[in-house]
Amino acid sequence: MLKRPAPEQTALEMVTLDQLVPADHLLRKIDRVIDFTFIHDLTAPLYCPDNGRPPLDPTLMFKALFIGYLFGVRSERQLVREIEVNVAYRWFLRLKLTDKVFDASTLSQNRRRRYDDTSVSQAIFDRIVEQAIRAGLVDGTVLYTDSTHLKANANKGKYDLAMIAKSRADYWADLDRAIDTERALHGQKPLKQKERRPAVKETKVSRTDPDSGYMVREGKPKGFFYLDHRTVDAAHAIITDTHTTAIVHDSTVYLSRLDRQVQRFGFDVGAVGLDAGYATAGIAKGLEDRAIRGVTGYRRPRPPKPGHDGSVLLHP
């Protein structure tokens, strides 16, 4: 006989928060490998030790931001709402079921004001990568790099026109030295040194977020964006480097970010995977000098213009 379930939400139960989180939950796996307690000591110099109101615990704040990134919660207000009702999130943040969750504005204002220096976030990122290396989750022998566009919080209709110098790729100095070395081997005089000036062009500068760049690319929405250059280790798809710039060519900062990972983490990189945007002579030469095999995507040829089918007319 079908019966209506009786309302039992008010019944008292003896249960621990740990019992409510599945044993195979992703946050449990991360918690077993990564120890986030170092964040407290790392960020302590940013706080007054003996004055003011108790702040939002920095370890709690960065772990909450980590949850937001990991599970695709882009709004900080929505992130707070999710933490309020998700027992796995509360367990990961060491919050009890009855603990009041911090306000979203507290999270955002701390991030904007106290942690506006990127060196702190970079240091936390590096320490987590080091723990992943010690746990055997990252080996640094094969790396994949690509960039993705991040929409800036700026109205694309509010801008000023300005002459902006385009960023130079980080491999130009290496190419100049290679040319001088090659000429010396053949007994030739070095070329006259000349100042390499970056190309300057008129572009739109946002009045709201002038650090962003205006993107005009076929198949992409027009507007103000940032570019996130990201590298992933092949072993378990752990991100080992992320670097945000305005809209620049993909190849502009690649070699310098690769060198940073080698120096910071001691990677012995044997091969890298890159898309077609990185297929430049400078990057090919840079990878060859570093004894790294590069596998890059190919550029699709543009279709012929209307009326030009690409055929060749032969006369007798």
The 3 state secondary structure assigned to the chain is CCCCCCCCCCCCCCCCHHHHCCCCCHHHHHHHHCCCCHHHHHHHHHCCCCCCCCCCCHHHHHHHHHHHHHCCCCCHHHHHHHHHHCHHHHHHCCCCCCCCCCCHHHHHHHHHHHCCCHHHHHHHHHHHHHHHHHCCCCCCCEEEEEEEEEECCCCCCCEEEEEEECCCCCCHHHHHHHHHHHHHHCCCCCCCCCCCCCCEEEEEEECCCCCCEEECCCCCCCEEEEEEEEEEECCCCCEEEEEEECCCCCCCCHHHHHHHHHHHHCCCCCEEEECHHHCCHHHHHHHHHCCCEEEECCCCCCCCCCCCCCCCCCCC
Tell me the sheet residues that pair with 271: 142, 293
**What does the domain layout of the chain look like in residue ranges?**
17-134, 142-296
Strand bridging mode 271-274 / 142-151: parallel
211 has a pLDDT exceeding 60: yes
Q: What is the pLDDT of residue 162?
A: 75
Phi, psi dihedrals of residue 311, rounded to the nearest 5°: -80, 160
Whether residue 314 is predicted with pLDDT greater than 60 in this model: the reply is no
* Dihedral, CA of residue 105, residue 106, residue 110 and residue 111, to nearest 10: -50
At residue 198, the pLDDT reads: 60
pLDDT digit string (tens) for 63-105? 999 999 999 998 899 999 999 999 999 999 999 989 999 999 9
Q: What is the CATH number of domain 142-296?
A: 3.30.420
Q: Residue 310: its pLDDT value, please?
A: 47
Per-residue pLDDT, averaged over 107-111, amounts to 85
Residue that wins the pLDDT comparison between 25 and 213 = 25
Average pLDDT over residues 48-77: 89
- Cα dihedral sign, 57-60-65-68: negative
**How much is the average pLDDT of 3-13?**
73
**pLDDT, tens digit, 9 for 90 and up, residues 260-282:** 999 999 999 999 999 888 888 88
Q: Which residue has the higher pLDDT, 87 or 48?
A: 87
The per-residue pLDDT for 107 is: 86
pLDDT of 165 reads: 60
Report the share of the chain in percent with pLDDT over 90: 42
Half-sphere exposure of residue 197: CA atoms within 13 angstroms, side-chain side: 4
- Return the higher-pLDDT residue of 29 and 315: 29
Q: pTM here? A: 0.79
Grade residue 241 by pLDDT with cuts at 50, 70 and 90.
Answer: very high
Tens-place pLDDT, residues 165-209: 665 555 566 666 666 666 667 677 776 666 556 666 778 888 888
Please determine, for residue 134, whether its predicted confidence score (pLDDT) is greater than 50. yes
